[in-house]
């Protein structure tokens, strides 16, 4: 991505880090996240045109709290500190911190006290609402800084050193609760840093095609094709870039939905004429390896390991194959690691390749969010039926069956899933939501059917709204539709006598249950 203007975001563990990255990209500038623990040489090698320091849960200056890499200040590019980032700048550059007597969590009224490039176009004669989330404060700014804004509870809510182009705000301009937040970020990007909005899906496609041609050269590349949006867009990119040097391997691991294997292969051959597609049926191998396994992380590791093994075996049959392509996205990378080193869940296509596998990894979508991937697909001319496909986890139904995966439980969930999908489509809700599916729970409950006692499985419905899968809100489906879905499942699927609806948001829950 070196051809694009780049904003480097240093993550100190903030819940809004990904939102900052999105806001920058929405402004037309490429953004990239590094954890605060990144080495100085990594930060220097990133070649950033501007740097943003995020918020975080720690108290700057306390023992064990994250520190500021010297490479940030030595880079000579504009810096914006947000919340913890502001406190860290103050602590590092000679200011004073103190615990706030009046802590601010939520909305606050910000008054602009001194002109600043960040405030360009914002009326200074009236306070406006910003979103605060802090427990301590900057009591006095470092030498060379000017106080530029305050709130009723905070005499120093923003500060600036115009000479060094270092700016800091205690509030969160990236959240929609902050009025003028988008303008403040754009002022930093365009007025302070002088960047050009050169990040677009058209420019991404053009440059990625060139990069893929250079990476592949005269070799061949194999792609793990699932039929989902991500891998299909990768296939379309590579098919256009290298033509018949691309070999797509569709591993049918036996954990797909009803008739999905045939549907996927038919769709791919129709949408990508002439594509080299190898359909490998390996259901027995995966199901055998999952026997007795209940831990969700272990399921993901097993599926990921076998997936790669099948790839390796099939790739050996092809001559001059040097690369393995995958549809890894940015949220996959972030969820598999964080600034605090906490893994949310292991993504089977993010763990790297075993040393025994002599294939170089190619991940052309690794820097994109899901909605950006769909935009790339549209640029490539993929039809709506492909781009509208809902996300489906790499391990398939293995992570939608809580507990052990068996053929019997797979068949039950396939029947339930078919009903959920059909009803969402026929009601028109399939095009309104981000994702809707069923989960088979590892418990049974007592019921009454036909005047007889039953003791059967529980199915949970999960339907959510989202933009990029980093956050999600449960969908308020009409009660009549929920009643129809529940009635059909209980009435038509043998082995299920109770249906529940998941009303958890992300966070705290993830979209998938495992």
Residues 6 or more apart whose CB falls under 8 angstroms from that of 382 comprise 232, 233, 236, 271
217 Rama sector, left if φ>0, alpha if ψ -120 to 50, beta otherwise: left
* Catalytic residue check, 83: yes
Contact present, 501 and 437 (Cβ < 8 Å): no
Question: Does residue 279 carry a catalytic annotation?
Answer: no
Question: What tokens were used for 505?
Answer: 């948001």
CA distance 125 to 199: 35
Q: Is 514 a catalytic residue?
A: no
Active-site hit among 91, 104, 134, 172:
172
What does the alpha-carbon distance between residue 60 and residue 420 come to, in Å, rounded to a whole number?
A: 49
- Bridge partners of 277, per DSSP, are 248
What residues contact residue 129 under an 8 Å CB cut-off, 6+ apart?
Answer: 107, 108, 109, 110, 177, 178, 179
Pairing of strands 96-112, 79-82: unpaired
Contact 69, 38 (CB under 8 A): yes
Under 8 Å between Cβ of 270 and 383:
no
Give dist(CA 149, CA 117) in Å, integer.
Answer: 13
Neighbours of 7 (CB within 10 A): 29
Catalytic residue among 91, 104, 134, 174: 174
Q: Measured between alpha carbons, how far is 514 from 393 in angstroms, rounded to an integer?
A: 10
- What Rg, from alpha-carbon coordinates, does the chain have? 25
Q: Are 359 and 248 in contact (CB under 8 A)?
A: no
- What is the longest distance spanned by two Cα atoms in the chain? 81
Q: Which DSSP helix (H) or strand (E) runs through 251?
A: strand 246-252
Residues with catalytic annotation?
83, 172, 174
């Amino acid at each position: 991505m070196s051809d694009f203007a780049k904003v480097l975001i240093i993550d100190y563990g903030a819940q809004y880090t990904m939102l900052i990255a999105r806001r920058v990209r929405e402004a037309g500038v490429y953004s990239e996240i590094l954890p605060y623990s990144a080495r100085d040489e990594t930060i220097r090698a990133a070649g950033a045109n501007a740097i943003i320091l995020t918020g975080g849960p720690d108290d700057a200056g306390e023992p064990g709290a994250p520190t500021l890499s010297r490479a940030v200040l030595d880079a000579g590019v504009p810096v914006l500190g947000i919340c913890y980032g502001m406190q860290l700048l103050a602590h590092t550059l000679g200011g004073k911190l103190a615990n706030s007597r009046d802590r601010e969590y939520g909305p606050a009224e910000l008054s602009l006290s001194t002109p600043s490039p960040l405030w360009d176009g914002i009326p200074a004669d009236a306070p406006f609402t910003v979103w605060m989330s802090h427990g301590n404060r900057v009591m006095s700014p470092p030498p060379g800084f000017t106080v530029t804004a305050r709130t009723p509870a905070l005499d120093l809510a923003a500060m600036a050193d115009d000479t060094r182009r270092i700016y800091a705000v205690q509030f969160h301009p990236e959240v929609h609760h902050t009025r003028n937040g988008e303008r403040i970020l754009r002022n930093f990007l365009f007025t302070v840093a002088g960047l050009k909005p050169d990040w677009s899906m058209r420019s991404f496609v053009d440059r990625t095609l060139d990069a893929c041609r250079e990476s592949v050269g005269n070799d061949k590349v194999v792609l793990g094709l699932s039929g989902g949006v991500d891998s299909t867009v990768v296939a379309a990119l590579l098919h256009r870039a290298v033509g018949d040097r691309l070999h797509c391997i569709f591993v049918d691991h036996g954990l797909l939905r009803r008739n999905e294997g045939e549907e996927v292969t038919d769709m791919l051959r129709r949408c990508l004429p002439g594509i080299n597609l190898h359909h490998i049926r390996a259901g027995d191998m995966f199901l055998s390896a999952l026997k007795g396994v209940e831990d969700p992380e272990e399921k993901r590791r097993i599926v990921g390991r076998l997936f790669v093994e099948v790839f390796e075996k099939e790739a050996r049959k092809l001559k001059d194959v040097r690369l393995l392509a995958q549809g890894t996205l940015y949220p996959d990378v972030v969820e598999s690691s964080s600034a605090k080193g906490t893994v949310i869940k292991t993504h089977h296509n993010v763990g790297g390749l075993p040393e025994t596998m002599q294939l170089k990894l190619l991940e052309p979508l690794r820097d994109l969010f899901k909605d950006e991937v769909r935009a790339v697909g549209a640029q490539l001319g993929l039809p709506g039926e492909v781009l509208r496909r809902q996300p489906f986890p790499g391990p398939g139904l293995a992570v939608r069956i809580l507990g052990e995966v068996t053929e019997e439980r797979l068949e039950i969930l396939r029947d339930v899933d078919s009903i959920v999908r059909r009803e969402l489509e026929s009601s028109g809700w399939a095009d309104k939501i981000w994702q809707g599916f069923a989960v088979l729970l590892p418990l049974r409950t007592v019921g009454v059917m036909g005047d007889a006692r039953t003791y059967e499985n529980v199915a949970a419905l999960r339907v959510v709204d989202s933009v990029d899968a980093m956050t999600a809100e449960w969908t308020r489906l009409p009660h009549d539709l929920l009643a129809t879905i529940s009635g059909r499942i209980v009435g038509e699927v043998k082995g299920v006598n109770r249906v529940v609806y998941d009303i958890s948001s992300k966070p705290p829950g993830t979209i998938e249950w495992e």
